[in-house]
């Protein structure tokens, strides 16, 4: 039986009704509002069940969707700039090309979400679960991903320049051609990940786990890798001039044709490493 439902707003017009109508659920009302082109900016939807809802092209900038259930929802091209999605469940949702600039997604559940080409610049994803998520070509520049789980996630050609990935889990993630320039990956677990062709210039990887990682032809110029685990890593043709590899574990690593000129290798473990054709001019040992 349909009932009268009001959608309230935030900010200066807090508790003021921004949309109302007869519907069986909030989800049904929201879908009707979106179909009608209603602007739901600042809408209060915290904790609501919007699972499998059709929210494509929705105008939800600055809306409060914290702890909402958006699993399986269609959010492609939705406007969610500065929206609050902390602890929300967006697993298996489709948010391709969505605008999430500066959005708050701390501790959100984003397992297997589709965020292809989404704009997450400056978004807060601290502690979020993005395992098996598709973030291909997404903009995550300056995003906060400290402690986030990105295991087996797909991020080819994504922009993570200047992002905070301190202690993040990126095991077996697809990271080919990703821009990690100036990103903080200190203490991150990248074991088994594919970083071929990635840009890591000026990145901080102190104490990171890069064991058996494919870093072939990767730009690591000026990168900070002190104490990093690079055992059995593939660094064929990698570009590492001026990088800090002090105390790093490079045992069994393949550095064939790599350029590590003027780098700091003091205290590094190179047992069993392949240094055929490696450029070692000016290296500090």
What pLDDT, in 10s, does the model give residues 106-165? 999 999 999 999 999 999 999 999 999 999 999 999 999 999 999 999 999 999 999 999
Q: Is the pLDDT of residue 3 over 90?
A: no
Residue 78: burial class (beta carbons within 10 Å; 0-12, 13-18, 19+): buried
**pTM greater than 0.85 (yes/no):** yes
Q: How many CB atoms are located within 10 Å of the residue 271 CB? A: 11
Q: Over the stretch 178-192, which tens digit does the pLDDT of each residue have?
A: 999 999 999 999 999
Q: Residue 21 sits in which domain range?
A: 3-35
Longest C-alpha distance within the chain, in Å? 78
pLDDT at 24 over 90: yes
Rounded to 5°, the CA angle 40-44-46 comes to 125
262 phi, psi to nearest 5 deg: 60, 20
* Structure tokens given for 45: 């939807």
Residue 14 scores a pLDDT above 90: no
Task: Compute how many other C-beta atoms are within 10 angstroms of the C-beta atom of residue 14.
Answer: 10
pLDDT for 11 equals 53
Q: pLDDT tens-digit profile of 261-280?
A: 999 999 999 999 999 999 99
| pLDDT value of position 13 | 53
pLDDT tens digits for 83-109?
999 999 999 999 999 999 999 999 999
Number of domains in the chain: 1
Sequence-ordered list of residues with C-beta below 8 angstroms from that of 225, at least 6 positions apart, any chain: 205, 206, 208, 243, 244, 245, 248
Residues 13-33, mean pLDDT to the nearest whole number: 87
Q: Is-contact 149 130, C-beta < 8 A?
A: yes
Distance CA 205, CA 240 (A): 13
Inside any domain, residue 135: no
- Output the six-digit token pair for 105: 């997604």
d(CA 129, CA 123): 14
Tell whether 10 is covered by a domain.
yes
pLDDT, position 222: 96
Query: Is 13 contained in some domain?
Result: yes
Residue partners of 170: CB distance under 8 A and separation at least 6? 150, 151, 153, 188, 189, 190, 193
Residue that is written with structure tokens 């609050």 in the block: 84
Does 25 reside within a domain?
yes
Whole-number Å distance between alpha carbons of 48 and 39: 18
User: In whole angstroms, how far apart are CA 80 and each of 198, 206, 262?
Assistant: 29, 34, 46
Please list, in sequence order, all residues whose beta carbon lies within 8 angstroms of the beta carbon of residue 107, skipping any fewer than 6 positions away: 86, 87, 126, 127, 128
Residue 238: what pLDDT? 96
Residue 148 lies in a domain: no
Beta-ladder partners of 39:
59
Q: Is residue 12 part of a domain?
A: yes
Per-residue pLDDT, 15: 65
Task: For residue 16, name the pLDDT band (cuts at 50, 70, 90).
Answer: confident
pLDDT band at 12 (very low <50, low <70, confident <90, very high): very low
């Amino acid at each position: 039986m349909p009932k009268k439902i009001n959608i309230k707003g935030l900010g200066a017009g807090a508790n003021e009704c921004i949309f109302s109508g007869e519907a069986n659920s909030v989800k049904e009302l929201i879908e009707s509002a979106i179909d009608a082109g209603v602007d739901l900016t600042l809408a209060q939807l915290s904790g609501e069940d919007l699972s499998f809802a059709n929210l494509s092209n929705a105008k939800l900038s600055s809306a409060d969707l914290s702890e909402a259930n958006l699993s399986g929802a269609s959010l492609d091209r939705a406007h969610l700039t500065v929206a609050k999605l902390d602890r929300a469940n967006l697993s298996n949702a489709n948010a391709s090309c969505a605008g999430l600039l500066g959005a708050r997604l701390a501790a959100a559940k984003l397992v297997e979400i589709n965020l292809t080409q989404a704009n997450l610049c400056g978004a807060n994803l601290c502690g979020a679960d993005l395992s098996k998520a598709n973030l291909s070509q997404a903009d995550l520049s300056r995003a906060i991903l400290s402690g986030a789980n990105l295991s087996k996630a797909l991020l080819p050609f994504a922009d993570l320049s200047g992002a905070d990935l301190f202690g993040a889990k990126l095991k077996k993630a697809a990271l080919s051609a990703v821009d990690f320039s100036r990103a903080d990956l200190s203490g991150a677990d990248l074991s088994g990940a594919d970083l071929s062709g990635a840009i890591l210039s000026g990145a901080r990887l102190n104490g990171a786990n890069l064991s058996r990682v494919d870093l072939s032809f990767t730009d690591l110029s000026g990168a900070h890798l002190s104490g990093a685990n690079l055992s059995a890593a593939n660094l064929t043709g990698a570009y590492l001039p001026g990088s800090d590899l002090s105390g790093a574990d490079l045992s069994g690593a393949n550095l064939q044709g790599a350029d590590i000129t003027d780098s700091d290798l003091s205290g590094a473990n190179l047992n069993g490493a392949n240094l055929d054709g490696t450029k070692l001019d000016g290296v500090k040992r």
